[in-house]
Amino acid sequence: MRKFSFMLPIFLILILLLSSCEGAKKAKLEVQDRTEFVLNTIISVAVYESEEMTEGLWNDIYKPVREVDALVNRFNRDSELSKINEYAGKCEVEISKTTYDLLSFAKEKSQEVNGAFNITIGALTSLWNIGGEEARLPSEAEIRDGLAKMKLDKLLLRSEDNRYYAELKEEGMSLDLGAVAKGYAAELTKLKLRELGVQRALLDFGGNILILDELEPAKDWKIGLQSPFKERGEAFMYVVVGDETVVSSGDYERFSIINGVKYQHIINPFTGYPVDNDLSGVSVIEENSALADVYSTSLMVMGKEKAREFIEAKKLEAILFYKDGSHEVFLKENRENGTL
């Protein structure tokens, strides 16, 4: 799930020079980092040119992602998301503002990508359970049933007097925020870092890379992209970004082999089957990681031709990796990139 990420060597050299000039001022450390397993993935945060980070500060930094995990992880029976799913077709559930905001965002974006991304896909993802120990090939009747339980308009969200509620109107409906929660949590973490006065950081949320860079002069960050065709951790090409995010989705991220056939974890909401088209992976460069997370999953569902049209219509920056081993780059003219 992790992408290889690194900075230009020149960046490191500059940092060393700057810190030695600080002289009598309070010592700033070149880099301090921490990695934890949250949201079913590896979450790393590296803070640059900052005073020594205390245990308390690290706890503050990891608070948003732990909170998102506790609220919307569908594998956690106590999460608010599990409660909404449990009471589908029965009653509404009171939720936190964080869950409400994330659900509202995801519902709205689903419409923007013409349904390629749909958070009411939970009945289908549970049916397939791709990447889990009990992955299996469902029957056609089960798939039809799963498709019938995917209805975005039957997800009701309501707020009143600073209290928030969600309801799934039909029994058997189920929410899955797996395609957007990492990006959302990553954005909240970036906000928290800013709030704490951190001006330069690299976040890696299981493939969602984010840069926070408010120091002057801002640096160029060279982000390596995993090739869908090489060993995990082996970068294939790079893009240079500033205070931005690079989010990738792909058939190599999570999959299961059932009866000798490889099935990936992204489900096509129009067929009910795991995506199987001409795309192997996509990377999206954006300002907002939650949005990039929605787009990367959606582009995978769309397939080559629709993805190209969508990228061009929205003026997105993205790289499409095709199954035949080729790739196509849709980047701003001045965006430095290359193969490795």
Tokens of 114: 């013409």
Nearest C-alpha neighbor of 152 from the set 178, 165, 170: 170
Burial label, 198 (beta-carbon count in 10 A; 0-12, 13-18, 19+): buried
Q: Return the number of the residue (38 or 198) whose C-beta is nearest ligand AMP.
A: 38
* Interface pick for ligand AMP out of 121, 212, 225, 291 (rule CB under 6 A): 121
Scanning residues 244 to 303, which ones bind Mg ion (CB under 5 A)? 293, 296-297
Q: Return the number of the residue (47 or 81) whose C-beta is nearest Mg ion.
A: 81
Q: In the bound complex, what is the minimum distance in angstroms from residue 76's beta carbon to ligand AMP?
A: 14
Q: Return the number of the residue (251 or 293) whose C-beta is nearest Mg ion.
A: 293
3-state SS, residue 287: coil
Scanning residues 158 to 197, which ones bind Mg ion (CB under 5 A)? 179
* Interface pick for ligand AMP out of 118, 174, 245, 256 (rule CB under 6 A): 118
Q: Return the number of the residue (93 or 186) whose C-beta is nearest Mg ion.
A: 186
Please report the beta strands in the chain, taking only residues with DSSP state E, as ranges in sequence order: 29-38, 41-50, 93-95, 155-160, 163-168, 200-205, 208-213, 221-226, 235-241, 245-250, 255-258, 261-264, 279-286, 317-322, 327-330, 337-339
Q: Which stretch binds ligand AMP (CB under 6 A): 27-35, 134-142, 146-154, 174-182?
A: 174-182
Asked if 209 and 246 count as a contact pair (C-beta separation under 8 A), the reply is: yes
Q: Return the number of the residue (15 or 180) whose C-beta is nearest ligand AMP.
A: 180
Binding site for ligand AMP (CB under 6 A): 117-119, 121, 125, 176, 178-179, 249, 253-254, 265-267, 269, 293, 296-297, 301
